Amino acid sequence: MTALLAGLILLVGAAPVQAQNDTTLGADLDAILADPGLAGADVGLVVTTLDGEVVYQRASERRQQPASNAKLATSAAALEILGPDHTFTTTVATPARRTGPVLHGDLYLRGTGDPTMLAGDYDALAERVADSGVRLVTGRLAADDTWFDDVRLGVSWAWDDEPYYYNAQVSALTASPDTDYDAGSIIVRVAPGAAGGPAVVTTEPPTDYVRIVNEATTGAAGSDDTVSVDREHGGNTFTITGSIPADGSATTEWMAVWEPTDYAASLFRAALERHGVRVLGRTVRAATPADARVLASRESMPLRELQVPFLKLSNNLHAEILVKAIGRKVAGEGSWDAGRPAVADALAGLGVTGKLSLVDGSGLSRMDQISPDQLAQLLAGAVDRPWFADWYEALPIAGESERMVGGTLRSRMDGTAADGAVHAKTGSLTGVSGLSGYVDTAAGDRWIFSMVTNNTIGVNTKAIEDKVAIRLAEEGGETSRPGPKVSSHEVTVECSWEKAC
């Protein structure tokens, strides 16, 4: 109950004016939402002009679980509070006295939440330490993750999602396996060996921080791929089971590690060794002393650029890192409890009114509650902000096949009136779907729309969302009726959950 109250936001103001849905557009949208698959579901849809005039409204005042549509709030608040030029800095520092190549004391690796740190970046830091002439550290390697608190997982996140990259632990000191920047994760790759023998398992990056238990076998050519990768709770033992066909392609799984702080420190320690720097002491966690001098540092890309992988690929960890970074800047505490009120204030400043609850930044929590009307208010309030152009382009774009352009909409609505005309944030949880953003109509208008659906069972809600967006894009054109084509690739879950986009 305490966590729920902590996440509750009260904003007072006027709701959008109700519209009469008695136009041809209204009738068409009513028909789309009358899909039998939505029977018993909670469906909200609002369409407005950029200045907030309501074009269409259907139960849009009702608060719902937004899934990843919550990232609209987090990303906009981050741009407002941290600023588009905000960067994350990772440093190597020491207060120790040095005699020639010997450092008489501890070496500190300090993070501020950078989700873009790769194994190669830790290697580059180690190389700079070596280039400074240090060859021996008599003390310990201290991992400093104190920029954030030590609460690793969000409120009401699903326990059975815990081993997977989209539900990874949040830390101020972390590492990603590739340039999708899934912080706190590794890639486990399972390839076929000789038929009848074990499968071949590797990780990216290569690391001895995790333990691999390989029980997977190589099946006959043409056999089924039944490979499964799991991680034990509370540790870093990954067990691989099942079978992969001898003529099959490698199976790849993105998996969360347990304790990303220790993972990052392990990568850095191994890099130091490769560059000829020996640390005699063990790896510990400790805050960097105020008098420590910096030996090496790395600064991330600015937030305006990070918005692209964040929003295009719906990166959950980016959202949570940003909430904690906001808390650190505003209240001096890198926590969800400190970040949430600041996000609320930013939303109010963008014109969002009424009660809502956002207990995390990504929308993973089942305790998040926001209405389509409020999402539309946010989208309208963002239009006049100086960061809007970058934010608008960072949203997924319908039908654009380039991964870092189309994002989670790259295989949706292609070849329709919505192709290239819809910039919107997607969202999915079991029984939950959302699509909120901007649509350019055939008449030359830019509208805002937000559709959020809860409590669905056995229906392709994404296809229905596509029909809505296509119909809006067609408005004012020669054909302003729903066409037969919805999407070349209808989906029922977010492609980012399956690394399919």
Q: Which two tokens stand for residue 155?
A: 């409120």
Q: Which two tokens stand for residue 476?
A: 């004012």
Residue 71 is among the residues annotated as catalytic for this protein? yes
Instruction: Count Cα atoms within 13 angstroms, Cβ side, for 366.
Output: 9
Taking the CA atoms of residue 463, residue 459, residue 496 and residue 419 in that order, the dihedral angle to the nearest 10 degrees is 0
Among 122, 93, 85, 96, residue whose Cα is nearest residue 110: 93
The phi, psi pair for 280, rounded to 5°, reads -75, -35
Length of the chain: 501
Q: Which two tokens stand for residue 325?
A: 């970074």
Q: Which two tokens stand for residue 454?
A: 């809860």
Cβ neighbors of 126 (< 8 A, separation 6 or more) are 268, 271, 272, 274, 275, 277
> How many CB atoms neighbour CB 329 within 10 A?
18
C-alpha to C-alpha distance for 155 and 157, rounded to whole angstroms: 6
Q: Is the separation of the CB atoms in 56 and 31 below 8 Å?
A: no
Residue 314 is among the residues annotated as catalytic for this protein? yes
Annotated catalytic residue, options 75, 243, 266, 314: 314
Residue 68 is among the residues annotated as catalytic for this protein? yes
Q: Is the separation of the CB atoms in 82 and 140 below 8 Å?
A: no
Helix crossing, 461-474 with 24-33: angle to 10°? 170
Q: 3-state secondary structure string, 285-352?
A: ECCCCCCCEEEEEEECCCHHHHHHHHHHCCCHHHHHHHHHHHHHHHHCCCCHHHHHHHHHHHHHHCCC
C-alpha to C-alpha distance for 249 and 258, rounded to whole angstroms: 28
Annotated catalytic residue, options 60, 71, 357, 411: 71
Q: Is the separation of the CB atoms in 218 and 244 below 8 Å?
A: yes
Annotated catalytic residue, options 60, 68, 243, 433: 68
Q: Which two tokens stand for residue 401?
A: 């096949």
Give catalytic residue positions: 68, 71, 314
